[in-house]
């Protein structure tokens, strides 16, 4: 449905998006992950025809962003970061204005506004000025705005940033609900959000794609090593290192922390096989006081940090 | 075409939702009323010549104050991003906002018709210069709105937009009064560049196509430049 080809964007000397290419399929919820300044917003702005790329192109269905921006804008709804709306306007007037620009006829317009007021749970603030709304409501009005023309593609730039945990869950629920019918591209740097809502993630760092797959595959492919966390009381690290290094499958034993007589140790395993039994057997033979013993599950957080860390 | 109307209506409504419209109109009426009537009885003539004589100078700072927010505010709060990703063309956006500003100028001029009525009751009024004056005022208002709009598209700071707009409008108003500084060969050209010169021609009640053409083409140039500025932001 959307094909990104060799997309590059320079702001003067700075390269915000550097020769990226990928495809987005119909009905997919794609999460665009990356640290701040990675190029997510720039990519979204190019996709929504707000910015022109320096090189490369994006093809949406049969349309090209350079030659057919109007057709593309017609099938796209966009919510920029922080939902920048007109503070003086009433929510209802604003939605009506957007519906007018989206060329909805009078009957459809009223129906659609009513429908979106329900979906986005903004019915009670319809006659309030946007400037007086809380951030959560503003975000929901922004979302209603983006969905007004019943677009096939929804582009949401950090839709939950700055919201409280309850509002985050509400917005996520809305996104999931709409995602059943529409193609959604959302950017975030909250990884649990991507994990909770997206089918697929593309991780961008410094304008380049560093990973592109569904979350499970990503965890699998990068999860070659697992880490076991141990904590002992009144135990010497050298002794622990000596014993555990001899267990088959252990790659490294590192001191993580040591204070008030508690020694924390990270054991990195070479394989993905579970070697907890062997490690436990080795510990049991010693006279050590074991306080903690658990395998660290490779979360998206770790993967993200690994992929986007400096150098 | 429909989209231009939607933008026009929205912008015009925004003027009247915020107190800006009321403040600007009040200041405009206060200044024009004061300057006009303070000397009106001294001349002992039933004409609005003094009112129209002052208008370019007053418009030079009133209209940039009306137009300064049109783009600057949108760019500053970020709603420009949503606006530009709606299925609209640059031309629709700029023409819609421009027409809203012109409509506002017309609304602002409306209460001054009461001056005409008052004076008509006091003596015999020549309608030609009045009609010419109002047509000229609308054309002048349109040109200054286009310039103000261009200034607004240049910056996210409304005060800077106001200062740029006001400087250009002042220059166009005063240029034909500064001609003694210039070499003789430039006089004709510079006189024709001045907005006040063309406005005063129309305000005499003589509607000359050259003056109309000046206002139309100068407004077009300013709007086109605004369009280029917006495209440059992409």
B203-226 pLDDT, tens digit per residue, is 888 888 999 999 999 999 999 999
Write down the pLDDT at residue A41: 92
3-class SS of residue B121: helix
Pick the more confident residue, B152 or A161: B152
Write down the pLDDT at residue B177: 81
Q: What are phi and psi of A84, to 5 degrees?
A: -75, 100
Of residues B13, B77, B88, nearest to A84 (C-beta): B77
| A141 touching B (Cβ < 8 Å) | no
3-class SS of residue A127: coil
Q: State whether A74 and B87 contact (CB < 8 Å).
A: yes
pTM for the model: 0.85
- Those of residues 128-147 in B touching chain A at CB distance below 8 A are none
Of residues A80, A87, A149, nearest to B81 (C-beta): A80
What average pLDDT does the structure give for chain A?
87
pLDDT band with cut points at 50, 70 and 90 for residue A311 = very low
Write down the pLDDT at residue A299: 65
Q: Report which secondary-structure segment, H or E, holds A22.
A: strand A14-24
A291-308 pLDDT, tens digit per residue, is 989 887 666 667 777 777
pLDDT band with cut points at 50, 70 and 90 for residue A78 = very high
B60-92 pLDDT, tens digit per residue, is 999 999 999 999 999 999 999 999 999 999 999
* Section B186-208 average pLDDT: 86
- Whole-number percent of chain B with pLDDT over 90: 65
Residue A220 pLDDT greater than 80, yes or no: no
Pick the more confident residue, B188 or B130: B130
- Whole-number percent of chain A with pLDDT over 70: 95
Q: State whether B82 and A80 contact (CB < 8 Å).
A: yes
Write down the pLDDT at residue B223: 96
Residues of A in contact with B79 (CB under 8 A): 84-86
Residue A223 pLDDT greater than 70, yes or no: no
With a CB cutoff of 8 Å and minimum separation 6, the contacts of B226 are B71, B94, B146, B149, B150, B153
3-class SS of residue A154: strand
DSSP string for residues in B41-94: HHHT----HHHHHHHHHHHHHHHHHHHTHHHHHHHHHSHHHHHHTSS--HHHHH
| A48 touching B (Cβ < 8 Å) | yes
- Whole-number percent of chain B with pLDDT over 70: 100
Write down the pLDDT at residue A52: 92
Least confident of A54-58, A108-112, B45-49: B45-49
What average pLDDT does the structure give for chain B?
91
Residue B137 pLDDT greater than 50, yes or no: yes
With a CB cutoff of 8 Å and minimum separation 6, the contacts of A245 are A253
Q: State whether A80 and B13 contact (CB < 8 Å).
A: no
Residues of A in contact with B10 (CB under 8 A): 97
A6-65 pLDDT, tens digit per residue, is 999 999 889 999 999 999 998 899 999 888 888 999 999 999 999 999 999 999 998 999
Q: What are phi and psi of A19, to 5 degrees?
A: 50, 60
* Section A239-251 average pLDDT: 86
How many CB pairs (< 8 A) connect A and B? 61
| B77 touching A (Cβ < 8 Å) | yes
Q: State whether B86 and A88 contact (CB < 8 Å).
A: no
Residues of B in contact with A78 (CB under 8 A): 81-82, 85
Write down the pLDDT at residue A212: 87
pLDDT band with cut points at 50, 70 and 90 for residue B184 = confident
* Section B20-30 average pLDDT: 91
Write down the pLDDT at residue A225: 66
Write down the pLDDT at residue A310: 58
Write down the pLDDT at residue A260: 78
How many C-beta atoms surround the C-beta of residue B185 within 10 A?
Answer: 7
Long-range contacts of A302-309 (CB under 8 A, 24+ apart): A303/A211, A303/A218, A303/A219, A303/A222, A303/A223, A304/A33, A304/A191, A304/A203, A306/A222, A307/A203, A307/A205, A307/A210, A307/A211, A307/A222, A308/A34, A308/A35, A308/A38, A308/A203, A308/A205, A308/A210
Q: State whether A88 and B14 contact (CB < 8 Å).
A: yes
pLDDT band with cut points at 50, 70 and 90 for residue A272 = low
Q: Report which secondary-structure segment, H or E, holds A102.
A: none
Tell me the C-alpha distance between A200 and A209, whole Å: 13
Write down the pLDDT at residue A47: 94
């Amino acid at each position: 449905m959307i094909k990104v080809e060799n997309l590059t964007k320079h702001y003067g000397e700075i390269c915000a998006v550097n020769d990226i290419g990928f495809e987005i399929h119909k009905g997919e919820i794609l999460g665009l992950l990356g640290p701040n300044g990675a190029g997510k917003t720039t990519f979204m702005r190019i996709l929504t025809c707000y910015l022109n790329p320096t090189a490369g192109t994006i093809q949406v269905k049969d349309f090209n962003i350079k030659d057919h921006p109007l057709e593309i804008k017609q099938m796209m709804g966009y919510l920029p970061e922080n939902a920048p709306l007109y503070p003086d306007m009433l929510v209802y007037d604003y939605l009506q204005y957007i519906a007018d620009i989206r060329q909805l006829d009078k009957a459809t317009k009223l129906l659609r506004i009513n429908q979106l007021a329900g979906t986005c749970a903004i019915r009670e603030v319809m006659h309030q000025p946007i400037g007086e709304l809380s951030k959560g409501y503003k975000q929901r009005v922004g979302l209603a705005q983006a969905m007004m023309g019943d677009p096939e593609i929804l582009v949401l730039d950090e839709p939950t940033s700055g919201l409280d945990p309850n509002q985050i869950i509400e917005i996520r629920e809305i996104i999931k609900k709409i995602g059943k019918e529409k193609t959604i591209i959302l950017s975030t740097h909250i990884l649990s959000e991507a994990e909770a809502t997206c089918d697929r993630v593309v991780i961008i760092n410094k304008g380049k794609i560093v990973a592109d797959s569904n979350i499970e595959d990503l965890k699998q492919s990068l999860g070659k090593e697992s880490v076991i966390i141990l904590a002992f009381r009144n135990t010497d690290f050298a002794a622990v290192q000596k014993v555990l290094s001899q267990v088959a499958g252990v790659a490294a034993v590192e001191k993580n922390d040591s204070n008030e007589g508690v020694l924390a140790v990270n054991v990195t395993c070479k394989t993905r096989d579970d070697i907890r039994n062997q490690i436990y057997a080795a510990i049991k033979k010693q006279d050590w006081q074991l306080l903690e013993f658990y395998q660290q599950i490779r979360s998206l957080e770790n993967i993200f940090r690994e992929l986007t860390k400096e150098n | 075409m429909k989209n231009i109307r939607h933008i026009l209506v929205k912008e015009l409504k925004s003027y009247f939702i915020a107190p800006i419209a009321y403040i600007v109109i009040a200041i405009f009426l206060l200044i024009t009323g004061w300057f006009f009537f303070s000397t009106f009885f001294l001349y002992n003539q039933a004409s609005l010549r003094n009112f129209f004589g002052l208008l370019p100078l007053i418009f030079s700072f009133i209209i940039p104050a009306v137009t300064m927010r049109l783009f600057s505010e949108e760019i500053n709060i970020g709603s420009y991003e949503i606006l530009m990703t709606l299925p609209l063309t640059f031309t629709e956006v700029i023409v819609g906002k421009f027409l809203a500003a012109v409509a506002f100028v017309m609304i602002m001029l409306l209460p001054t018709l009461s001056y005409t009525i008052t004076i008509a009751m006091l003596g015999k009024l020549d309608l030609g210069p009045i009609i010419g004056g109002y047509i000229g005022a609308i054309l002048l208002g349109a040109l200054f709105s286009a310039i103000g709009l261009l200034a607004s598209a240049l910056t996210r700071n409304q005060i800077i937009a106001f200062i740029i707009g006001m400087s250009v409008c002042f220059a166009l108003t005063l240029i034909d009064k500064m001609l003694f500084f210039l070499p003789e060969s430039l006089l004709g050209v510079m006189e024709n560049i001045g907005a006040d010169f063309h406005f005063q021609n129309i305000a005499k009640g003589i509607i000359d196509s050259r003056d109309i053409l000046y206002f139309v083409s100068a407004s077009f140039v300013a709007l086109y430049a605004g369009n280029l500025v917006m495209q440059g932001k992409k």
